[in-house]
Structure 1
């Protein structure tokens, strides 16, 4: 996968910031069924991701500039178009019929089908100029950070592209189960896993991810009166097993560009 051809994300990273915990502070184990997402799951999933990202700083940056009519409906439509392609490519997972969802990308299968990309890009053109400018800024910064972190090696890695859980369903281990699904696949294939997130880095650290690059958007935008938003590229090296991974120390390392 060429860095320049990365799918522009519809969302960025995960927002479930707390893993499922027991009283002694250890992650509990419960049966969670991770299944491929179906078309019937999309309406629930679209509402789940809307609620989950409502307070995400990056989405606030975009939403503040989206003054065109029907912003929520447009975002849901863009998400569902994106997911239709990912479902066709067998890289879209869910728990509880859309209450928690993940889009991921194995090597060689990380970008949308051309027809899906065209339709999604067409819908994206309905965004106001300032909103489109902010999405472009984000995409450029994300590509810069990923290139600096991994170079051409990213083509051989797995990517967690979207992860979200309805706030009413958080704390049940749904997001943890989805992450573990990808980590097991990566470990079995000897593939590292990477992702981009804003404020959910603490959640991923529980699984052995470390921050390897960070950068900001919004710091040079005179139309934005909020704080700059930090983007974090996180990485987890392939391991022999999750049991081994859970016993290893997790020491985040950050490099700022």
Structure 2
């Protein structure tokens, strides 16, 4: 969790860049009624993500999955309230962008839920976030305070490859450009996708390699940058797919 109370997220596999087929889907503002469906989309799209496994596989306290879903719903509800979340097909593909300082109520709920995580899970989250914050501070400096973080890009597996991820990214980048803001994003294994949008690597970092309770090897973080947007990306080694 970073200094603003935001938990960084990795991005799922979203396939190659393609254009949406005629009549298939349209980017629209997210609605509260889509939240339940969006939760399922996120779980399925992020299944097998190594960075998330590193943190949440250590959360052995009761109701781990319920707490994670509740946290997501609260964060998304805040993004909807601020008109900063978009979807295709009623929650089958989603994205949102957040200012550096989240809504106070959202931050309060996220902080409270984090206290129920096991000590090892909290330790791992702090380790990951500290590594990312070091990269962000080094590469972006104080400028990050005037930027947006693009978060939660997810497409349900059945609808990947239809161009939904590209359409959502373009919508957010258009919004941030209109507001005169640069943006950055933490992603999992999709650096090739972001490269199609003009991103290039500017820095790297690593976590998890020296943790004796983690057997999947280090999680490598790659920082990339584009002329009008900034992106923090994670290139993770292959992991066995398992439900988070």
Q: Deviations over 1:190-235 (max 9, x none)?
A: 5433212231111111111112222111022222122110122222
Residue 124 of structure 2 is aligned to residue 104 of structure 1: no
* Aligned residue in 2 for 1:37: 30
- Specify whether residues 20 and 197 from structure 1 end up closer, same or farther in structure 2 by C-alpha distance, changes over 3 A only: closer
From 174, 179, 182, give the equivalent of 2:164.
174
Are 1:210 and 1:236, in contact at CA under 8 Å, matched by a contact in 2? yes
Are 1:44 and 1:99, in contact at CA under 8 Å, matched by a contact in 2? yes
Q: Can you give the 5+ residue segments of structure 1 that lack an aligned partner in the other structure?
A: 22-26, 240-257
- TM-score by length of structure 1 reads 0.81
Q: Following superposition of structure 1 onto structure 2, how do residues 67-106 of structure 1 map, counting pairs within 5 Å?
A: 67-105=60-98
* Aligned residue in 2 for 1:15: 12
- Specify whether residues 6 and 205 from structure 1 end up closer, same or farther in structure 2 by C-alpha distance, changes over 3 A only: farther
State the alpha-carbon separation in 2 of the partners of residues 237 and 210 from structure 1: 9
* Aligned residue in 1 for 2:121: 131
1:78: how far off? Answer: 0.8
* Aligned residue in 2 for 1:231: 221
Are 1:141 and 1:215, in contact at CA under 8 Å, matched by a contact in 2? yes
Greater relative contact order (Cα < 8 A, sep 6+): 2
- TM-score by length of structure 2 reads 0.85
Q: CA RMSD in A?
A: 2.2
The aligned length equals 228
Partner of 2:189: helix, strand, or coil? coil
- Specify whether residues 144 and 190 from structure 1 end up closer, same or farther in structure 2 by C-alpha distance, changes over 3 A only: same
State the alpha-carbon separation in 2 of the partners of residues 199 and 129 from structure 1: 27
State the alpha-carbon separation in 2 of the partners of residues 213 and 90 from structure 1: 32
Are 2:4 and 2:102, in contact at CA under 8 Å, matched by a contact in 1? no
Are 2:9 and 2:187, in contact at CA under 8 Å, matched by a contact in 1? no
